[in-house]
Amino acid sequence: MTEVAKMLEKIEGDNVKFIRLQFSDIQGQIKNVAIPVKQAEKALTDGISFDGSSIEGFARIEESDMVLKPDMDTYALLPWRPKEARVARFICDVYLPNGKPFEGDPRYVLKKTLAEAAEMGFSFNTGPECEFFLFKMVNGEPSIEFKDHGGYFDLAPTDLAEDVRRDIVLALTDMGFDVEASHHEVAESQHEIDFKYGDALKTADNVVTFRFVTKTIALMNGLHATFMAKPVYGINGNGMHVNCSLFKEGENAFFDPEAPLQLSDTSMHFIAGVLNHSKSITRVANPTVNSYKRLVPGYEAPVYIAWSASNRTALVRVPAPRGKSTRIELRSPDPTCNPYLTFAAILAAGIEGIKKEMQPPAGAAKNIFAMSEDERTKSHIETLPCDLITANKHFIEDELICKALGPHIVEGMNNIAKLEWDSFRTAVHPWEVEQYLARY
């Protein structure tokens, strides 16, 4: 039996009546087309056409015909939909009518970068830690009213949102996620759910699915889940630490029992590459004006460009586990990012580090936030870009990262950053009114 025939049999056996074909726009937002099940065979063989011109950062009107081809590995039932007429989804790749992959498809960009790593014998694993807030809905609209006042690892009864979090974990598990942990985070109403790391394409798919499932289940419970980077001033924002490792022939290439700290040369080169491109990666991993309100001192988010094997204040941390679990953790990304592009940018930077055998500076042994500016200057510790437009400037000047993402995506991201920045820059914010209205 062919792959397609097997898939069609499974779809019928699961009593599926509708299929959602999903893909991501340039900003990592899920788009989807629903088709009735009788279209499944056509979708799985020829693909389904759609108009790309209405998708953010996709095509211009004159070249808008595009084709969605489902990736059969991504089949999953939506567990909250009716059991008598099930809804399944596929994540799709986007093609042009001439059969070529569409260069503006973020999934394609990641696949291309993964293929480059594969040529060097590496597979790239990521383990993202997604944080989010659960806020109350007020008069049918999302608010920033806390649902609970719990803190890190708190248990019920403080953690009123525990039931909702459990429902989210159950839905994710039904959809094939291997959930490793879920806990209350540091801030009020803030939560984290971790799933097992895996191949970066699969985990990027998982991140977009995770956001969609979390929002859906929260809403079914009358709550608004937000991944916005810094929804409330004065408390922690939402991060999406990305744990990364390279495997070669089934072995963790970051682990070397003989090396200092048991960290291989490969891992050191990778860290050096990531640090070297960290300013432009910030544009990708922290894509909103608001993202930069999180990257400030005092809230566990990184500000300074440094790595460390011992403390959590650095941009790149090497968590304690070794062997198969040897990994580096990039702490800057936030969950508003496009995970496909973020993982592609990290990998491209890391690969360059390996190819050029780059060495990182000495690891920061102490709390970087406690160092004086003078000490940081002496240790050559630079800071991450402080706002979107600065990050964007680093990004468009970074040849390696631009090449990895491709001209179509770079142009789209550049336009989005400029538009958002102009809109923000020219708005009059409550802070300004508070500061100046009475004084002048």
Q: Which residues are catalytic?
A: 51, 129, 131, 185, 192, 241, 312, 329, 331
Report whether 195 belongs to an annotated binding site. yes
For residue 134, give both structure tokens. 């659960």
Question: Which partner from the list ligand ADP, Mg ion, none does 73 bind, CB cut-off 5 to 8 Å by kind?
Answer: none
Report whether 20 belongs to an annotated binding site. no
Report whether 293 belongs to an annotated binding site. no
Question: Which partner from the list ligand ADP, Mg ion, none does 243 bind, CB cut-off 5 to 8 Å by kind?
Answer: ligand ADP
What is the contact mask toward Mg ion in residues 106 to 145, using x (rule: CB under 5 A)? -----------------------x----------------
Which stretch in 4-12, 121-129, 152-160, 263-271 sits in contact with ligand ADP by CB under 6 A? 121-129
Q: Which lies closer to ligand ADP via its Cβ, residue 55 or residue 200?
A: 200
Instruction: Find residue 317's DSSP bridge partners.
Output: 308, 329
Q: What is the distance between the alpha carbons of residues 174 and 119, in angstroms, rounded to a whole number? A: 35
Q: Tell me how far, at minimum, the Cβ of 339 lies from Mg ion, in Å.
A: 16
Instruction: Find residue 329's DSSP bridge partners.
Output: 243, 317
Q: Which lies closer to ligand ADP via its Cβ, residue 126 or residue 282?
A: 126
| Residue 31 touching Mg ion (CB under 5 A) | no
| Residue 325 touching ligand ADP (CB under 6 A) | yes
Using the rule CB under 6 A, which residue among 22, 24, 113, 125 binds ligand ADP? 125
Report whether 185 belongs to an annotated binding site. yes
Q: Tell me how far, at minimum, the Cβ of 312 lies from ligand ADP, in Å.
A: 8
Report whether 432 belongs to an annotated binding site. no
Q: What is the distance between the alpha carbons of residues 293 and 394, in angstroms, rounded to a whole number? A: 18
Using the rule CB under 6 A, which residue among 58, 108, 177, 197 binds ligand ADP? 197
- Give Cα separations from 16 to 43, 188, 201, 205, 337 (angstroms): 15, 39, 26, 21, 32
Which stretch in 37-45, 76-84, 122-130, 272-280 sits in contact with ligand ADP by CB under 6 A? 122-130
Q: What is the distance between the alpha carbons of residues 286 and 282, in angstroms, rounded to a whole number? A: 5
| Residue 332 touching ligand ADP (CB under 6 A) | no
Q: Residue 104's closest CA among 336, 418, 340, 419? A: 340
- Give Cα separations from 230 to 227, 392, 431 (angstroms): 9, 19, 16
**Of 412-431, which residues contact ligand ADP (CB under 6 A)?**
none
Contacts of residues 375-384 at CB distance under 8 Å and 24 or more positions apart, as own/partner, are: 376/304, 379/306, 381/304, 381/305, 381/306, 382/304, 382/305, 383/303, 383/304, 383/305, 384/278, 384/279, 384/282, 384/295, 384/302, 384/303, 384/304, 384/305, 384/315, 384/332
- In sequence order, which residues have a C-beta less than 8 Å from that of residue 294 and are 6 or more positions away? 229, 230, 237, 238, 239, 286, 301, 334
Report whether 184 belongs to an annotated binding site. no
Using the rule CB under 6 A, which residue among 25, 129, 167, 205 binds ligand ADP? 129
What is the contact mask toward ligand ADP in residues 231 to 250, using x (rule: CB under 6 A)? ----------x-xxx-----
**Of 305-324, which residues contact ligand ADP (CB under 6 A)?**
319
CB 108 within 8 A of CB 24: no
- In sequence order, which residues have a C-beta less than 8 Å from that of residue 433 and are 6 or more positions away? none
Report whether 188 belongs to an annotated binding site. no
CB 196 within 8 A of CB 178: yes
- Give Cα separations from 306 to 153, 352, 386 (angstroms): 28, 18, 16
Q: Tell me how far, at minimum, the Cβ of 75 lies from Mg ion, in Å.
A: 29
CB 324 within 8 A of CB 253: no
Which stretch in 84-92, 123-131, 403-411, 429-437 sits in contact with ligand ADP by CB under 6 A? 123-131
Using the rule CB under 6 A, which residue among 9, 51, 56, 180 binds ligand ADP? 180
| Residue 184 touching Mg ion (CB under 5 A) | no
- Give Cα separations from 310 to 22, 152, 266, 363, 395 (angstroms): 40, 21, 19, 9, 29
Question: Which partner from the list ligand ADP, Mg ion, none does 406 bind, CB cut-off 5 to 8 Å by kind?
Answer: none
Question: Which partner from the list ligand ADP, Mg ion, none does 282 bind, CB cut-off 5 to 8 Å by kind?
Answer: none
- In sequence order, which residues have a C-beta less than 8 Å from that of residue 135 and are 6 or more positions away? 142, 143, 144, 145, 146, 147, 189, 223, 224, 225, 226, 231
Binding site for Mg ion (CB under 5 A): 129, 192, 241
Binding region: 129, 131, 180, 185, 192, 195-197, 236-237, 241, 294, 300, 312, 324, 329, 331
Q: Which residues are annotated as a binding site for Mg(2+)?
A: 129, 131, 185, 192, 241, 329
Q: Which residues bind ligand ADP (CB under 6 A)?
A: 125-127, 129, 180, 194, 196-197, 241, 243-245, 252, 319, 325, 327, 329
Binding site per annotation, positions for ATP: 180, 195-197, 312, 324
